[in-house]
Amino acid sequence: MMRMVKRTDMTSKKAAVIRILSIALALLTAGLFISVMGHNPISVFTSMFMGAFGSAFRVKDTLTIAIPLILTSVGIMIAFKMKFWNIGAEGQILMGAFFASYIALNFSTLPKVPLLTLMFVAGFIGGGLWALLPAYLKVKFDTNETIITLMLNYIAIKWITYLQYGPWKDPKSMGFPKIANFADNAIFPKLFGVHIGWIITLMIVIFIAIMMKYSKRGYEIAVVGESIDTAKYSGMNVKKVILSALFVSGGICGIVGMMEASAVNQTLTASLSGGYGYTAIITTWLSALNAAIIIPVSVLFAAMIKGGSFIQTAFQIPQAAADVLQSIILFFVIGSEFFVQYKLVHDRRKEDAA
């Protein structure tokens, strides 16, 4: 019999070796899959890389995917640090976009800087309030936050869909269920060909990294995540820590919604979140809940998404096959984290008892 044991002898060097081996095995397995489909694995992998970074235009597209992924990952990382499983980033992104869109559509005559600032604040508040609801239910009634946050995603989607088909439907859309496009004042400017959200994202990542490592609030979040009883014994207001942390967690996801509505979609749609809320769960865990590591992991993940789309056209590979390739790579990379944290040992006690 085999049993799982928490590792106590893991060093940075050993962890790096395990992760490198996992990537090598992932590429080998994916290569075999590609060969079965009748393609040259080296050509496909090269095309995936070129599809993500092969030109300035492709790099911009990859970064456009990476920006919301980085920011969403940082947002849910705060909740995960407390072992509050915030699976509701999709809904928080949409509600942040909803609050920001209300400002954009109703105050479009304001100058660009004040309008974008109001949209930014509104997006943060919208996402924060949407995350505050399951946080309140958790501290008040000890509900299951995984289920509550997940279900709130669907409510947010249906709410935006209702707005598209109902009160916010653009009368100039010829009957098409579409919300009006934003005015130029409500659209993020670009810097180096990418919307300036990348600068805001870097600033937020740096701020959160410093907060989590050096501030009192970051320390309280870490302690609550380790042991609520210890936090209470040390005099911390656990309920306040959870509520405030979740408001910030959801607020950062709400900022993602504001950016996507303003810079990418230039309007509000039910599909605006683009699955970033779910994808960010993976990138957050792969980053070991480290804000600094989230950036390269998210960029590489965005490159994999962009490269996967490119090879569909270049090699006529079906969408399902491209998804399988991505899943194979993810399976091995995520699986490596198990062997970094745990090891399997031979349990002789059970065999002797038998």
The CA distance from 213 to 206, in Å, is: 11
- pLDDT above 90 (res 13): no
Question: Closest Cα partner for 335 from 2, 23, 27, 79?
Answer: 23
How many angstroms separate the Cα of 14 from the Cα of each of 4, 11, 53, 334? 18, 5, 30, 16
When pLDDT is averaged across residues 144-158 and rounded to a whole number, the result is: 96
Which residues on adjacent β-strands are paired with residue 2? 346
pTM metric for this prediction: 0.90
pLDDT digits (tens, 9 = 90+) for 284-308: 988 888 999 999 999 988 998 898 8
> Rounded mean pLDDT of 220-224?
95
What confidence score (pLDDT) does residue 172 get? 87
pLDDT at residue 294, rounded to an integer = 94
**Long-range contacts at 321-324 (CB < 8 A, ≥ 24 apart):** 321/33, 321/37, 324/33
Going from N- to C-terminal start, the domains of the chain cover: 67-297
Segment among 110-114, 139-143, 164-168, 317-321 with least mean pLDDT: 317-321
Whole-angstrom distance, CA of residue 296 vs CA of residue 278: 18
Count of helix runs (H) and strand runs (E) in the chain: 14, 4
Angstrom distance (rounded) from CA 84 to CA 135: 9
SS3 343: strand
Beta strands in the chain (DSSP E): 2-6, 190-191, 194-195, 342-346
Q: Which two tokens stand for residue 197?
A: 């959200």
Confidence at 354, pLDDT banded by 50, 70, 90: low
118-141 pLDDT, tens digit per residue, is 999 999 999 999 999 999 999 999
The model's pLDDT over 73-92, given as tens digits with 9 standing for 90+, comes to 999 999 999 999 999 999 99
| Out of 151-160, 256-265, 340-349, least confident range | 340-349
